[in-house]
Amino acid sequence: MDERADAEGESGRAVLGRTLRFLREKAGKSLGQLAEETGYDKSYLSRLESGERLSKATVMEDLDGYYGAGDLLVSHWKAARLDAFKDQYKRFMGLEGTARVMRVFTPAVPGLLQTEDSAREVLSGGQTTPDGDDLVEEQVAARLGRQYLLRQKPEPDVRIIMDEVALRRPAARAETWHGQLVHLEDVATWRNVRFQVLPFSAGVHHHMTGSLTLLWQKDGSAVAYKEGNGCSQLDEDPDDVLRRRLSYDRLRDLALSPSDSLAFIRGVLEDQRS
């Protein structure tokens, strides 16, 4: 069996599950043995192999190491995580994964910067069905997986502008909010990320109802993705992208500088500690 066999028409999660099962059987291990030797629950591993569950990326890293498979499982996981997103979002996700330059504005803490606890709190808010917990965990894993984009090589050049309102609306649990603020403080010091806060003093602006993401590829092509008010739009026409870029530049000019934004986050952290 070719571990990288063509799986056209098969979901990314099914391909990942089939590869997991192949590697286990090739190693001559039962699910029970694998569970004992890796520390992961047997039923959990079974659900990964059947494609019923999406793991965190770190689980695939562990299993890649266990099987000596290089980054095979992680590469399949990157495709499988797209199954957790709606079809209209997948085109954007694919472009985001290869972007060399990213410009983001958001009125809330963006998924790219959310901690696991914050993501779980945000995503669980709308779940009311009996199987909601599994769905939330799958969405959390997929959201955290996007954060690999910020640290992949070569590192993309990233600027994130976040509205002050996001820093004034804490998480339900103080521990979750503290962890989120500490993470934002850390990200604001990364060499490939420029983080800016758009303060209330900037007044009303043209992106108050949603987020905007601009992506540039290695070949210079660009897209703009606008999301808000229950709808989303991916613009690929150069004139539309230029219009979105100019609107982003106006927000950048209104925002605090990266150094002042870092000081702002640290001030919110001090307020939270007290």
> Is the same domain home to 78 and 130?
no
Give yes or no for residue 4 having a pLDDT over 50: no
Give yes or no for residue 7 having a pLDDT over 70: no
Residue 37: partners with Cβ closer than 8 Å, 6 or more residues away = 29, 66
**Buried b / exposed e along 198-212 (16+ C-beta atoms within 10 A):** bbeeeeeeebeebbb
Give yes or no for residue 30 having a pLDDT over 50: yes
Mean pLDDT, all residues of the chain? 87
Of 82, 111, 144, the position where a domain reaches its end is 82
Q: Which CATH number fits the domain that encloses residue 37?
A: 1.10.260.40
pLDDT at res. 127 = 55
Q: Which domain holds residue 20?
A: 12-82
Task: Give the chain's domain count.
Answer: 2
pLDDT, tens digit (0-9, with 9 covering 90-100), for 126-146: 554 555 577 788 788 878 888
Q: Of 82, 81, 65, 78, whose CA–CA distance to 23 is shortest?
A: 65
> Is the same domain home to 196 and 261?
yes
